[in-house]
Amino acid sequence: MSDAVEVVDLRAARTALRENAPLVHCLTNTVVQTLTANALLAVGAAPAMVDAPQEAGDFAAVASAVLINVGTVHERTAEAMRLAARSAGAAGTPWVLDPVAVGPLAYRTALAGELVGLAPAVVRGNASEVMALAGAGAGGRGVDSTAGADDAGSAAAGLAARTGGVVAVSGEVDLITDGTRTVRVGGGSALLTRTTGAGCALGALVAAYVAATGDPLAGAVAAHAHVALAAERAAATAAGPGTFAAAWLDALDAVGPDDLARADVRPA
Residue 18 annotated as lining a ligand binding site: no
- The residue among 63, 59, 56, 96 whose CA lies nearest residue 78 is 56
Edge-to-edge strands of the sheet including 23-27?
46-48, 23-27, 65-69, 95-98, 122-126, 166-170, 174-177, 182-185, 265-267
Residue 197 annotated as lining a ligand binding site: yes
Residue 233 annotated as lining a ligand binding site: no
Residue 49 annotated as lining a ligand binding site: yes
How many beta carbons lie within 10 A of that of residue 187, not counting itself? 19
How many whole angstroms separate alpha carbon 120 and alpha carbon 125? 13
Dihedral (CA of 89, 91, 92, 96) sign: negative
Q: 174: burial class by Cβ within 10 Å (0-12, 13-18, 19+)?
A: buried
How many whole angstroms separate alpha carbon 56 and alpha carbon 87? 9
Known binding residues are 49, 124, 170, 197
Known binding residues for substrate are 49, 197
Known binding residues for ATP are 124, 170
